[in-house]
């Protein structure tokens, strides 16, 4: 069997595995909601897959399906948690909040180590380091992350068994870091163009916020789980969200929705007015966050780049796609990016 055929076979296996997972997830959602609502969430997930292949185009019908899914999933998690949400100690009276020497840090994670990262990830992390000011940038890897955070042993066991995936684990990692230390979490695929990061540290709570964002995500543009920051006094917010996350995995061995952390953030706001208030007071920022990734494969255009940077200094990219170095005989935005010319 050729490498190409092996690759195609592996892709088919992943698709089949994902389909089985989604069918099982739908069954579980039906159990706590209704057959109709479970099927509605399944339909919305299909819409999301279609959007992933058509440039995230979201017509009114798909938007309606997604918003309906979010409403169903919030009620699903509330029923799944039972009395936990009502009896949880949101005051965290039993926790002694000690000052952390890492509250001034920017957390970035690339499990395999920066030396093994794709070119686009290396360029992104370098851009964060360049614009971090006096804030240390800590690149977390498989080798060093345990120096900075405490993860329950039972979580580690579920991870080693493959029950909790690396993506799920990364979600827990960011919540735990912010709960223990505060500071800022940025995904490793953020490209930063200006020294704005220090200004975000001046806020009690920060996330990329775009209220006019059309995409019907769980967050609705009001926060983004890949960009979160808080000061030491607001660590309790992420301790709450982390504990929601831990409670889920303590009682479940599969994840019914890829966007679970966003749902946990929404639930935390619903059940703690202080958290809701702080998220509501985040000022809109980085309105063009998702625009650079759409043109990376196009030939570089100076005026277009200047226009993008007018309201945005942080651009969310991806390492999962391949981009050409040239288009129409000219270097692309991607070429400029990896050559450190942007």
Reported as a single tens digit per residue, the pLDDT across 159-204 is 999 999 888 999 999 999 999 999 999 999 999 999 999 999 999 9
Q: Which of 259, 280, 301 is the last residue of a domain?
A: 280
Kindly state whether residue 159 falls inside one of the protein's structural domains.
Answer: yes
Could you tell me if 126 and 234 lie in one domain?
A: yes
Kindly state whether residue 316 falls inside one of the protein's structural domains.
Answer: no
Q: Which of 264, 280, 296 is the last residue of a domain?
A: 280
Residue-number span of the structural domain to which 264 is assigned: 106-280
Reported as a single tens digit per residue, the pLDDT across 234-251 is 999 999 999 999 999 999
Kindly state whether residue 287 falls inside one of the protein's structural domains.
Answer: no
Q: Which of 249, 280, 311 is the last residue of a domain?
A: 280
Q: Which residues contact 266 (CB under 8 A, 6 or more apart)?
A: 70, 74, 218, 219
Q: Are the C-beta atoms of 187 and 174 separated by less than 8 Å?
A: no
Query: Which H/E stretch holds residue 15?
Result: helix 3-32
Kindly state whether residue 149 falls inside one of the protein's structural domains.
Answer: yes
Could you tell me if 112 and 76 lie in one domain?
A: no
Kindly state whether residue 307 falls inside one of the protein's structural domains.
Answer: no
CA dihedral of residues 143, 149, 155, 160 (deg, nearest 10): 0
Kindly state whether residue 312 falls inside one of the protein's structural domains.
Answer: no
Could you tell me if 258 and 117 lie in one domain?
A: yes
Kindly state whether residue 96 falls inside one of the protein's structural domains.
Answer: no
Reported as a single tens digit per residue, the pLDDT across 95-110 is 889 999 999 999 999 9
Average pLDDT across the chain, whole number: 91
Could you tell me if 177 and 274 lie in one domain?
A: yes
Count of domains observed in the chain? 2
Distance CA 22, CA 28 (A): 10
Beta strands in the chain (DSSP E): 106-109, 137-140, 183-186, 190-192, 205-207, 227-230, 314-316, 326-327, 330-331
Confidence of residue 13 (pLDDT cuts 50, 70, 90): low
Could you tell me if 243 and 150 lie in one domain?
A: yes
Reported as a single tens digit per residue, the pLDDT across 42-76 is 888 877 776 666 555 567 777 788 888 899 999 99
Could you tell me if 128 and 162 lie in one domain?
A: yes
Distance CA 89, CA 91 (A): 5
User: In the prediction, which pLDDT does 316 show?
Assistant: 97
Kindly state whether residue 296 falls inside one of the protein's structural domains.
Answer: no
Q: What is the CA radius of gyration of the chain?
A: 21
């Amino acid at each position: 069997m050729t490498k190409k055929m092996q690759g195609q076979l592996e892709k088919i296996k992943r698709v089949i595995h994902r389909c089985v997972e989604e069918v099982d997830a739908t069954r579980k959602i039906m159990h706590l909601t209704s057959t109709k609502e479970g099927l509605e969430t399944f339909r919305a997930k299909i819409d999301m897959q279609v959007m992933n292949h058509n440039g995230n185009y979201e017509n009114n019908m798909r938007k309606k399906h997604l918003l309906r899914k979010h409403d169903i999933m919030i009620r699903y998690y509330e029923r799944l948690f039972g009395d936990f949400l009502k009896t949880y100690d949101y005051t965290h009276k039993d926790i002694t909040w000690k000052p952390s020497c890492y509250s001034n840090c920017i957390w970035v994670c690339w499990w395999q180590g920066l030396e093994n990262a794709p070119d686009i990830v290396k360029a992104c992390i370098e851009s964060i380091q360049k614009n971090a000011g006096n804030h240390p940038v800590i690149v977390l890897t498989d080798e060093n992350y345990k120096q900075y955070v405490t993860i329950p042993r039972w979580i580690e066991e579920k991870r080693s068994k493959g029950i909790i995936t690396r993506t799920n684990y990364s979600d827990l990692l960011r919540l735990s870091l912010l709960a223990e230390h505060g500071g800022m979490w940025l995904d490793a695929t953020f490209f930063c163009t200006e020294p704005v990061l220090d200004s975000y540290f001046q806020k009690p709570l920060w996330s990329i916020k775009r209220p006019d964002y059309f995409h019907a995500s769980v967050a609705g543009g009001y926060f983004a789980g890949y960009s979160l920051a808080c000061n030491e006094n607001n660590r309790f917010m992420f301790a709450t969200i982390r504990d929601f996350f831990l409670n889920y995995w303590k009682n479940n061995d599969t994840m019914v929705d890829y966007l679970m952390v966003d749902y946990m953030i929404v639930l935390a706001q619903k059940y703690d007015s202080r958290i809701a208030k702080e998220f509501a007071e985040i000022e809109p920022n980085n309105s063009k966050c998702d625009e650079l990734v759409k043109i990376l494969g196009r030939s570089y255009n100076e005026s277009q780049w200047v226009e993008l940077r007018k309201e945005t200094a942080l651009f969310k990219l991806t390492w999962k796609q391949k981009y050409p170095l040239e288009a129409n005989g000219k270097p692309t935005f991607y070429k400029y990016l990896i050559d450190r010319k942007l």
